[in-house]
Amino acid sequence: MTKADIIAVLDSPDHLETLYRSDPERFRRSFPDALAQHPDSLVLKIWQERLKPLSETASERQPLWLMLSVIIVTALLFRLSAFSIGDDHLFEPKLFFPLLLTGQIVYFLTRLQPQAKRVWWVLSLAAACFLFSLLLPEAPPDSYVRKLFEPNNTDADVITLSRIHLPLVFWSLLGVAFCGQNLQSTVRRMQYLRFWGETLIYTTMILLGGVVLSTLAIALFHLIEVDIFKWYFQNIVVIGLISAPLVATYVADVLTAKQPKLTSLLANLFSPLFLLLVAGYLVAMAIQHTNPVVNRDALISFNGLLLIVLAITVFSLSDQNASKQPRWLMLVNIGLIAVTLLIDAIALTAITVRLASMGFTPNRITVLGANLLVFIHLIGLLHGYWSTLKDPGHYARLEQWIAGYLPVYSVWSIAVTFGFPLLYGVF
């Protein structure tokens, strides 16, 4: 990489960002020469500020105290929610994701310091969503998951669907807070997806460590005949459950932001394995003559598989050097998407037949809509992967497709979360 490469893409922010991601160190070495040749370039002046090393106070210390404050407030609110429902419950499950995601929203709004106007409307929408989660009636326990395709109780199904999609609405608001003034930027949206992949991984690691610590603590106190099981779970475990993702948020945002490769590494590792799994699953279905039209469990497993494969194929592109993926890995992802599209086509056929034969219900409408959204997204991914395989210069278009499709999921989650309860009058 030379100064000529940088100067050649000055008029294209996305290509300039892609060039930087391809080799940050060489970009940094060539940048001073490019700036010396074009000292009046506003783009290069902005990049000059971006490439300056941040001080510890600006990059680590201030977010640490901010996150500690968010963790303390969020954990206390979550723990106090248990007192309002009696001693038979450890916590109020419906408040977990609203409290967690609201805490993350506050963190990024404060950390990135966007315009005051944006802060207020994002916080107002988050507060409105939180209030909605409190006002939404409770659904009977047997209406969850197992009853998703049984029209026994329309109100209960609508409430269940609303609660399932509400975290996605908060997730969209968190994306707005994360992107800040660069909400329309493809690069920033991809950074948001990369951040979430890293956060999920670090959360899992922290929780696994917490399981080991909790088991050891209970066992040690048991040896001296002190029973701390109930107290430990009501306080330490409950607080730890909501604190772990917040700690992971700080780790992904500050401590590992410079080299976020773990997500793409795991995605690339599991891509071949999932290709074998999905292909084997299709063969087994054919041998067993499984019919998803009448087999509700098969249809549910289809939808879960679609989401996992979509995440894997997207996260495999989250590395800064994803445009230089090996050819064999691109072929694996293409094969994985193609096989998954076949499964999605089967699922769409099954749910269409169920709609035609059994009628419309909120659950069937939701499953049909979600499958259509994922099907369209996967088709775009397949086309983007194939184009990138033939010409690596099309990688930016693939990123644009992934990032540009995110608002579609946001609109869908808003429609299901708020539209269905209003449409079916569950309040």
Q: What is the pLDDT of residues 105-144, one digit of tens each?
A: 999 988 876 666 778 888 899 999 999 988 888 765 544 4
What does the pLDDT read at residue 215?
92
pLDDT bucket at 151, cuts 50 / 70 / 90: very low
- Is residue 212 predicted with pLDDT exceeding 90? yes
What does the pLDDT read at residue 252?
86
275 half-sphere exposure, CB direction, 13 A CA radius: 18
CB 148 within 8 A of CB 352: no
Residue type, 138: E
Q: Which residue has the higher pLDDT, 408 or 142?
A: 408
Q: What is the pLDDT of residues 10-19, one digit of tens each?
A: 777 777 887 7
Q: What is the pLDDT of residues 319-341, one digit of tens each?
A: 655 556 678 888 888 888 888 88
CB 300 within 8 A of CB 320: no
What does the pLDDT read at residue 406?
92
CB 309 within 8 A of CB 336: yes
Select from 119, 110, 100, 108 the least CA-distant residue to 170.
Answer: 100
- Is residue 90 predicted with pLDDT exceeding 60? no
Report the alpha-carbon distance of residue 318 to residue 264 in Å, rounded.
6
CB 34 within 8 A of CB 44: yes
Mean pLDDT of all residues in the chain? 80
What does the pLDDT read at residue 293?
61
pLDDT bucket at 70, cuts 50 / 70 / 90: very high
For residue 251, the surrounding DSSP H or E stretch is none
What does the pLDDT read at residue 246?
94
CB 100 within 8 A of CB 243: no
What percentage of residues in the chain have a pLDDT greater than 90? Answer: 20
Report the alpha-carbon distance of residue 118 to residue 319 in Å, rounded.
29
Q: What is the mean pLDDT of residues 35-47?
A: 80
pLDDT bucket at 367, cuts 50 / 70 / 90: confident
Q: What is the pLDDT of residues 230-262, one digit of tens each?
A: 888 888 888 899 999 999 999 888 765 555 567
Q: What is the mean pLDDT of residues 342-351?
A: 83
- Is residue 379 predicted with pLDDT exceeding 90? yes
Average the pLDDT over each of 81-90, 114-123, 221-230, 348-357 and give the range with the smallest value: 81-90
pLDDT bucket at 412, cuts 50 / 70 / 90: very high
Locate 371 and state its tokens.
């499958």
DSSP letters spanning 319-366: STTGGG--HHHHHHHHHHHHHHHHHHHHHHHHHHHHHHHH---HHHHH
